[in-house]
Structure 1
Amino acid sequence: MTGPAKSQITAASKAVKLFSVSSYITGIFLLLLMITWGIRRLPFLGYELWAMGPGGFITFEQYGLEGEGLPEVGFSLTTAILVVHGWLYVLYLFADFRVWTLMRWSFFRFLFIALGGVVPLLSFYTEARYAKMAKAEIAQAQERA
């Protein structure tokens, strides 16, 4: 049987809301990460997104081998986006786990949803599909209650 237990309907609704929000935010940061990674790694670009450096508020700084030539002041927005996405992915996994346990879904579904935080654009798909599915199952559980 899938869907939340009668005593877990409220918790499941809150978990789905957290999952929806974390899906969008994690997905957006994953796209930002892919863009900044591409700007850094593609041979014809090779730039780092830099904040508060000598060039201004936000600039592109030439990225040499292993970061040679980067300014001494300011910080790398590319690295900051990477770190923020990592922590948001932890939140996304927590929300995925919470929905998965409350909805009593299969382990394969948990793993597929978890991929949404590391495969670009997949979090938007998983949010649209599984949040809708969870809301329908919650509505059915409310009718049974």
Structure 2
Amino acid sequence: MHPKRAVTLDGMKQSVLTRYRTMAYVTGVLLILLTLGVIAKYALGISGAAGFTTAVGIAHGWLYVVYLVLAFDLGTKAKWPIGRLAWVLLAGTIPTAVFFVERRVSREVAPLVAAPEPASA
């Protein structure tokens, strides 16, 4: 395999993990903000919370779809079983779960990204 090509492939694999991690954090932060907005709106009766909750809810909804696509891409490339993939996909719907799942996924996938490509026969 050509050395320059190997660097490009490894860079592409790293970018898959980086995109997933970025969207995991974005999704997690928005979900926490949405949870706080819902608490402020319904439990505390704060008047300005309705607009905030709507805006954050819309943003989380659309960006969660991007998270799903990127997590699915990472999971298929890492050849995860369907149960594990489902858990990673659902983590974006449980406040704070996505942070723990992202950390575990990153620890597991990072060595695979750093591993050299097997030589083609």
- After TM superposition, the score normalised by the length of structure 2 is 0.83
Structure 2 counterparts to residues 114-125 of structure 1, below 5 A: 114-125=89-100
Structure 2 residue ranges without an equivalent (≥5): 1-5
CA-CA distance at 1:48 after TM superposition: 3.9
Taking the aligned partners of 2:68 and 2:105, their CA distance within structure 1 comes to: 14
Q: Tell me the alpha carbon deviations over residues 89-119 of structure 1, each in whole angstroms, 9 at most, x when there is no partner.
A: 1111111001011111111111111121100
Structure 2 counterparts to residues 95-106 of structure 1, below 5 A: 95-106=70-81
Taking the aligned partners of 1:28 and 1:35, their CA distance within structure 2 comes to: 11
Equivalenced residue count is 113
Taking the aligned partners of 2:9 and 2:61, their CA distance within structure 1 comes to: 29
Q: Which residue in 2 is equivalent to 1:129?
A: 104
SS of residue in 1 equivalent to 2:95: coil
CA-CA distance at 1:139 after TM superposition: 2.2
What percentage of aligned pairs have identical amino acids?
28
Structure 1: which amino acid aligns with 2:82? F
The structure richer in strand per residue is 1
Q: Does 1:90 align with 2:44?
A: no
CA-CA distance at 1:143 after TM superposition: 6.1
Distance 1:103 1:10, change over 3 A: farther
CA-CA distance at 1:12 after TM superposition: 2.5
Name the Cα RMSD after superposition. 2.1
Q: Tell me the alpha carbon deviations over residues 16-36 of structure 1, each in whole angstroms, 9 at most, x when there is no partner.
A: 000010011110000000000
Q: Tell me the alpha carbon deviations over residues 28-54 of structure 1, each in whole angstroms, 9 at most, x when there is no partner.
A: 000000000011111xx22243xxxxx
Between structure 1 and structure 2, the one with the greater Rg is 1
SS of residue in 2 equivalent to 1:25: helix
Structure 2 counterparts to residues 53-68 of structure 1, below 5 A: none
Q: Which residue in 2 is equivalent to 1:71?
A: none
Taking the aligned partners of 1:122 and 1:48, their CA distance within structure 2 comes to: 29
The structure richer in helix per residue is 2
Structure 1 residue ranges without an equivalent (≥5): 1-5, 50-59, 64-75
- After TM superposition, the score normalised by the length of structure 1 is 0.70
Q: Which residue in 1 is equivalent to 2:85?
A: 110
Q: Does 1:139 align with 2:102?
A: no
Question: Contact 1:33/1:82 (CA < 8 Å) preserved in 2?
Answer: yes
SS of residue in 2 equivalent to 1:90: helix
